[in-house]
Amino acid sequence: MPLTRLLEHVLEGEPDLGDEVDAVFREAERLRRRRTRSLLAAGAAVVAAIAVTGYLLTTTLLPAREKAATPAAVATPAASAVPVPSDIADPVLALLAPAVRDKKMHIYPRPPERGSGWRQYSITDQDDKPRGTVEVAVYRLPEDLCFPVLAKPNKCARTEWAPAGVEYVRYDDDHDLDWQVHQTIARRISDGRTLALMATGERGTDNASTGKPGLTGAQIEKIGTDQRMFDAFGPDEDCVGAAATACPAFRMPVPQPAD
């Protein structure tokens, strides 16, 4: 007897199908929902993994690298009890760091590193030798500003214009080998926020080369007129008034309203 005929007998007593067709479609719907949930869960897991990785990288690796760049010879940063912010935590540092790193140097906050309306940083070269400081401050000066002239204190300088309505004057002074300075004062005319950015060379070297600032005058001009630098400070930060006493002393001071 052929196998097919034999198998027919085996299937005698087959139970009724009942509503199996509907059950199949209900099961298909459950399967679709399960797959959708799995897909969403997998997506959420990927997003969470990326977020955790990003968090770990930014909070662990970047500060660690900054810390590693801190030379043992420079006592002040090492002595600071204040956590060193990463580029991401400090938008001012984020704007300064690329230019410094392009020159194979390092930049990090210099205690007292920050206050309302101001920040200050130290620069070291690739041999961990100090290459001076960078100081920056913002001022709320809604009225017109008389940009000072280096050689003539009572005169107003002719301003240059940067994109997006920023007027500025650049000050470079390397006559004093012991205090070489590159500074820019810039003012955003839309809201009067004024910014002073200054790089100074390491003092006390008495040497034109080793006393040269870590950033050039052109770099200071470019960074100091960058809209992002104006926005890197909080809206209420201001070096005018009560907070002014803690603000850095610039080679070319920004005229205050009372001046």
Partner 1 sequence: MPGDEDGLRDFVTSRLPHLRRSAFLMCGDWELATELTRATMARVVADTRRGAVADPEVFAYSEMMEACRRRNRRREHVFVAAAGAEGVAAESILLLDALHKLAPRCRAVLVLRHWDGFELDAVGAMLDLDDERVAAYERAGLAALQKLLTESEAALTG
d(CA 88, CA 60): 12
* Residue 15 engages partner 1 in binding (rule: CB under 8 A): yes
Q: Which position among 2, 68, 154, 245 is part of the footprint of partner 1 (CB under 8 A)? A: 2
d(CA 238, CA 245): 11
* Residue 19 engages partner 1 in binding (rule: CB under 8 A): no
Under DSSP, is residue 219 helix (H, G, I), strand (E, B) or coil?
helix
Cβ closest to partner 1, residue 1 vs residue 75: 1
CA atoms 63, 135, 197, 211: torsion sign = negative
* Residues 20-39 close enough to bind partner 1 by CB under 8 A: 20-21, 23-25, 27-28, 30-32, 35
Could you tell me which residues come within 8 angstroms of residue 230 by beta carbon, excluding any fewer than 6 positions away?
138, 166, 186, 188, 193, 195
Stretch that binds partner 1, among 10-18, 70-78, 120-128, 230-238 (CB under 8 A): 10-18
Q: How far is the CB of 42 from partner 1 (least distance, A)?
A: 17
Stretch that binds partner 1, among 4-12, 198-206, 222-230, 235-243 (CB under 8 A): 4-12
Cβ closest to partner 1, residue 24 vs residue 73: 24
Cβ closest to partner 1, residue 6 vs residue 72: 6
d(CA 197, CA 114): 14
d(CA 52, CA 68): 23
Could you tell me which residues come within 8 angstroms of residue 59 by beta carbon, excluding any fewer than 6 positions away?
86
The residues binding partner 1 (CB under 8 A) are: 2-4, 6-7, 9-15, 17, 20-21, 23-25, 27-28, 30-32, 35
